[in-house]
Chains A and B, each alone.
Chain A
Amino acid sequence: MSVVTSPEAVAPPDAVAPRRRRRWGRALLPVYSWLVIAYLVFPIVIMIIYSFNKTFGSMQLVSFSWNGFTDQWFKQWSDIPGLTQSFWLSIRLGITSTLISTVLGTMLAMALVRYRPPRFRGKAAFEQVIFLNIAAPEIVLGASLLGMFVSLNIGRGFLTLVLSHVMFSIAYVAVTVRARLAGFDRSLEEAAYDLGANPWTTFTRVTLPLIMPGVLAGALMAFALSIDDFVTSNFLSGSSAPFPVWVYGVTRVGIPPQVFVFGTAIFAVGIGLALTSIVLARKKV
């Protein structure tokens, strides 16, 4: 009753004073946000600039000072055999572990969504393990895997790398695919069965196309995780070092400029793909 007669009721508080504050907030927040984005992008710009830096003296190593512009390192991108090898190793490792973890992760996600405790014992435990896998520090995973391989007398190499990469990416694939499966209409599968399709046909022609965006997103994530992984790989690589491990190894002795060339190239490809997908998504809407 007093509310109705009070002056605020006639003129809502939003109307006069807070509007100025909101405008102020609208100006400040974007400026701040762009500053944060600039902060995030800044080191990458530095990396790209320094990949065009001339080296100092006869040692072909990157230096902190600017010695002049050159595109020499882009022309001689494959001049460091160890670096090029480690890069292709990373690519092979990424593709192999992505394929395996995508298949297994999709299966896991389907099992988690479709089956409930009477038929699927230990479902809660599985969910805990997935959760743990994502949240536990990576160094623990790497260290314990190394401990296991050593105690089982398994030599470190490509196989152990693939195993470990599959292990950490499987959880991410499962989570991504499960998110897609959550909104899945089961009656579509039933319709396929009614029309005489067998389980395999139903899966490949109905279920898989529908969950494909989730599966692809999971696969991309697995690949990105695998390419970028350092901690686990460092424990398990042995003599064959993937790209990040190799780069880390040379930080003490000196970094050849080609490292920045590879960094720039990977960045360009990744950001190009991401921007294309954003543009495509916007066109669809």
Chain B
Amino acid sequence: MVPLAFMLSLSLKTCNPATGACVMTWHWGEFPSEISLYHQEFITSLYFAAVSTVVDLVVSFPIAYWIAFYGGRRKNFFLLMLLVPFFVSFVIRTIVWEFVLANNGVVLGTLKHLHLLPSGFHVLGTGYAVMAGLAYNYLPFTALPLYVALERIDRRVLEAAYDLYATRRAGFLRVILPLTVPGIFAAFLLTFIPMFGDYVNQEILGGTSNTMIGTVIQNQFLVNFDFAGGASLSAILLVIALVGIYAYARLLGSRTIEQYL
């Protein structure tokens, strides 16, 4: 148990080298100054992650519902299909999205050829490209918790509702939906938080504008070597994530999220 305890305490400790891992100066002023410098990037990240998460929830709910209720014997196959993107490296997936969205790439090039789009139309380098990439890359993280939640619904409860003359609509709105709320919340958490800190999509698809906070943190550490600044930014990011996690743990218990993995 000793190496384990060491490991885990380490992972806790390293989570906040905030006020200067290099030298302990208790320089709290770092936080306000970093926030005032980079609040725009925080807002951009928040906006991109929120939009992409909502898109993912809306897109993946019907398919999760379909697999859970009508998947039958081929459930495992369909789940594998949901997981297919994970068999290609994350970075390569994002690069391929660059191909897909490129000005003269597979999609836009074809549409322009058919004169369905003006030739000056472009997606790459805009926030839309970043959001499309985020939504694609994290879709399985949303779909799987939703599937688990829907799968676990006791069919007898639903039948009871119908026996009590619930309409299909009422059965869905008053039985299925409330029972999937923990799953929706877990899906939200597992999608939103990684998206919030993501910078690969922004770097590859977003061009130089619409910088997200992950990019800033990476640059602070690996380009500017401003460790204190980068660390305080990532501490702020961690706090934001913790608020979400804490809210989840309070409402639904910390162990329940593991059931959705």
Contacts and interface: CB of A to CB of B under 8 A. Distances in A.
Interface of A: 8, 13-14, 18, 21-22, 25-26, 29-30, 32-33, 36-37, 39-44, 46-47, 50, 64-65, 104, 107-108, 111, 126-141, 143-148, 150-151, 166-167, 170, 172, 175, 178-179, 224, 227-228, 230-231, 234-235, 243-244, 247-248, 251, 255, 259-260, 263, 266-267, 270-271, 274-275, 278, 281-282
B261 A144 contact: no
Contacts of A129: 8, 11-12
B114 to A, nearest CB: 17
Contacts of B197: 137-140, 231
A44 B85 contact: yes
A231 B63 contact: no
B84 A40 contact: yes
Contacts of B60: 36
B105 A64 contact: yes
Given A231-B200, A281-B76, A135 B91 contact: no
Contact of A275 (B80, B204, B249, B261): B80
A47 B96 contact: yes
B90 A244 contact: yes
Contacts of B255: 127, 131
A143 B226 CA distance: 12
Contacts of B98: 251
Contact of A135 (B16, B66, B106, B241): B241
Contact of A139 (B11, B95, B167, B217): B217
Interface stretch (B34-42, B149-157, B174-182, B231-239): B231-239
Given A150-B21, A172-B261, A263-B92, A29 B241 contact: no
Contact of B95 (A33, A36, A255, A275): A255
5 contacts: A33-B66, A36-B63, A44-B87, A147-B14, A275-B80
A26 to B, nearest CB: 7
A235 to B, nearest CB: 6
B30 to A, nearest CB: 13
Contacts of B16: 144
Contacts of B105: 64
Interface string B205-242: 00000000010011001100001001100110110011
Contact of B11 (A141, A247, A267): A141
B212 to A, nearest CB: 10
B54 interface: no
A13 B67 contact: no
A61 B24 CA distance: 47
6 interchain residue pairs of minimum CB distance = A137-B197, A147-B21, A270-B87, A139-B197, A147-B17, A144-B14
B193 A136 contact: yes
Interface residues of B, number: 92
B82 interface: yes
A132 B105 CA distance: 40
A136 B15 contact: yes
B7 A22 contact: no
A244 B237 contact: no
Given A14-B162, A135-B257, A235-B218, 5 more contacts: A33-B78, A43-B99, A147-B227, A231-B197, A235-B222
A29 B66 contact: yes
B7 A104 contact: yes
B196 interface: yes
Contacts of B12: 129
Nearest to A47: B96
A139 B237 contact: yes
B117 interface: no
A131 B214 contact: no
Contacts of B97: 43
A285 to B, nearest CB: 9
Nearest to A133: B11
B194 A42 contact: no
A241 to B, nearest CB: 11
A41 B139 CA distance: 12
Contact of B21 (A141, A151, A179): A151
A47 B258 contact: no
Contact of A46 (B76, B99, B140): B99
Interface in B58-76: 59-60, 62-63, 65-67, 70, 73, 76
Nearest to A243: B89
Contacts of A40: 81-82, 84-85, 136, 139-140
Q: Which of B16, B96, B102 has the most CB of A within 10 A?
A: B96
A260 B227 CA distance: 35
Contacts of A227: 89
Given A44-B88, A47-B88, A140 B1 contact: no
A270 B84 CA distance: 9
